[in-house]
Amino acid sequence: MTDNREFDSELHRTALAQLDRVAARLNLDPDIHERLRYPRRALVVSVPIRMDAGHTHVFIGYRVHHSTVLGPTKGGLRYHEDVNLGEVTALAMLMTWKCALMGLPYGGAKGGVRCNPRELSRVELEHLTRRYTAEIILLIGPDHDIPAPDLGTDEQTMAWMMDTYSMTQGKSVPGVVTGKPLIVGGSAGRREATGRGIVYALYQAARHLGHELRGRKVVVQGFGNVGGVAARLLWRDGAVVAGVSDFRAGVWNPDGLDIRQLEAHVAETGSVVGFAGADPLTNAELLEQPCDILIPAAVGSQIHAGNAERVKASVVVEGANGPTTPEADVVLRERGVTVIPDILANAGGVVVSYFEWVQGLQYYFWKESEITSRLQEIMARAFNRVWALGQKEGVDLRTAALMEGVSRVAEGHRVRGLYP
């Protein structure tokens, strides 16, 4: 196989290892396998902006398209100080499998800017977003590549991107991004979609495993739009949410946290730290607390060879992208832990992004009840396909989900052929 050291990173090595393992199991055509190991295109840009202090600072940005064989590309934009080309390329690849698994007419993309958004003012963030958009504008568009929020970005980021792109077109183009505010063409239910999808996946897992969610002890790493929403919905369903954390640290109460009060505390202080009636602990310690369900919904590689043996949950639901390393995957599988993989568990976000894109193209918007109903139907259908394939092939859910996603993309390549 061709050398691809330009994209080397821990996450990219993980993504390639997963693809290679599944390709062997599928007996994939070697030529198609080779094509799937590389992105369709990768753009690296400098993003110079005028800082509030008056000097110019140059940030580095990326936008990667992994595959366009099933349709335009779709994927988030993240602002984080550890963003690099390898990570963005790996996440674009995972988005390809995720979109194919969910039956969406997209290929995978991802973008990022290496920065710490918490250290930037609102004005600096706006300038950064608009300049980055201008630098990648030749790649994006409602028929080409549709960005969405990710780590460190939000609805406002998408509104700035949409406005910048629209200014170059001489008209408003809401379909260029998803995850934007409702007032400029966003979709009801988009903000909660990823967390809601996690819960819908858990409903199906509980049914197949013969479990009740009520009374089950849950730990959630990450208390943002993904983990926070999942924690709230599970708490309302009667689960005991015993531990949560954010980027600073975590809190733990074995008898359960009052999520409504915790949300009020976070709104007031900006963090879960210091919540009354709970013990403090680190993010690493949180993952090893006794619980039935663990939801890592923060960043990648949180469950690794060094701590997988100490994870006490019987079910791990990957709310984040790539939170479990391949080495940890083996340990969890050998211990009988059910892992609902990221490309299935956190797919609710891209499903509702698809709904938003369709609504924007039609200028016809659906009620939130329609969106949540359709999301639940798609999540249930995908989960049950993956579960059935796993049972048939005797493989874990991650392998089954990847087999389903990769085989769909490979079939697209087979049908379309190779140009010229």
**Where in the sequence numbering do the catalytic residues fall?**
110
d(CA 182, CA 308): 41
Contact 74, 105 (CB under 8 A): no
Tokens encoding 116: 């710490």
Cβ atoms within 10 Å of 269's Cβ, excluding its own = 11
Contact 66, 108 (CB under 8 A): yes
Give 303's strand partners: 324
One-letter amino acid of 170 = G
Place of tokens 């000097």: 55
- As a three-state string, the secondary structure of 118-145 is HHCCHHHHHHHHHHHHHHHCCCCECCCE
CA 258 to chain centre: 26
How many residues belong to the chain?
Answer: 420
Give 112's strand partners: 62, 78
d(CA 273, CA 262): 10
| Residue 382, phi then psi, degrees to nearest 5 | -65, -45
Does the CA dihedral 190-191-192-198 come out positive or negative?
A: positive
Give 59's strand partners: 47
Tokens encoding 150: 């990710």
